[in-house]
Amino acid sequence: MSHAPEKFADLLTREKKAFAFLALAKQDGTPQVTPIWFDYDGKHFIINTARGRVKDKILRKHPTVAMLITDPGNPYRYLQVRGKVIDQTEVGGYDMICSLNEKYHGNRNYPKHEGEVRVTYKILPERFASMG
């Protein structure tokens, strides 16, 4: 496991509301990049999606990821993370998306969609790189 440079720790806080851009490789080798909400527990990055979405399908088959987290106030300042999915669960998935909604929008009222199953992924960072 690797640790984020202290100079960039603010990008990982709930107060900063920074987005991560999740980069994955599709089965045919083409890239898939998605802006995502994330949380950080001091050791793992935590993301959430719905079962059946493209990122869910890729993460289940190819658990290696890269993310770029940009500073909302200065896009030239960023943190790059490379790591692996170490856990996924549907348990508490809707509660996690509500927690992320609270981080980014100030309330827990994430809309519930009939039939949608939320899944939470936990990513262990292996390498960090930074700029700015």
At residue 3 the predicted structure's pLDDT band, cuts being 50, 70 and 90, is: confident
pTM, whole model, 2 decimals?
Answer: 0.94
Domain membership of residue 1 (yes or no) is no
Q: Which amino acid is at 82?
A: R
What are residue 33's DSSP bridge partners?
Answer: 23
pLDDT attached to residue 1: 59
Q: What is the count of structural domains for the chain?
A: 1
In a domain, 13, yes or no: yes
Within-domain flag for 28? yes
Residue 78, in any domain of the structure: yes
pLDDT class for 7, splitting at 50, 70, 90? very high
Q: Is residue 34 part of a domain?
A: yes
* Tens-place pLDDT, residues 27-37: 899 999 999 99
> Residue 132 and residue 120: Cα distance in Å, rounded?
30
Q: What is the CATH number of the domain that holds 14?
A: 2.30.110.10
Range of the domain at 100: 6-131
Alpha helix (H) ranges present in 35-92? 54-61
In this prediction, residues 47-56 reach a mean pLDDT of 97
Show Cβ contacts of residue 23 under 8 Å, excluding neighbours closer than 6 positions.
31, 32, 33, 65, 66, 67, 68
Q: What digits encode the pLDDT tens for the residues 72-131?
A: 999 999 999 999 999 999 999 999 999 999 999 999 999 999 999 999 999 999 999 999
| CA pair distance 122, 102, nearest whole angstrom | 19
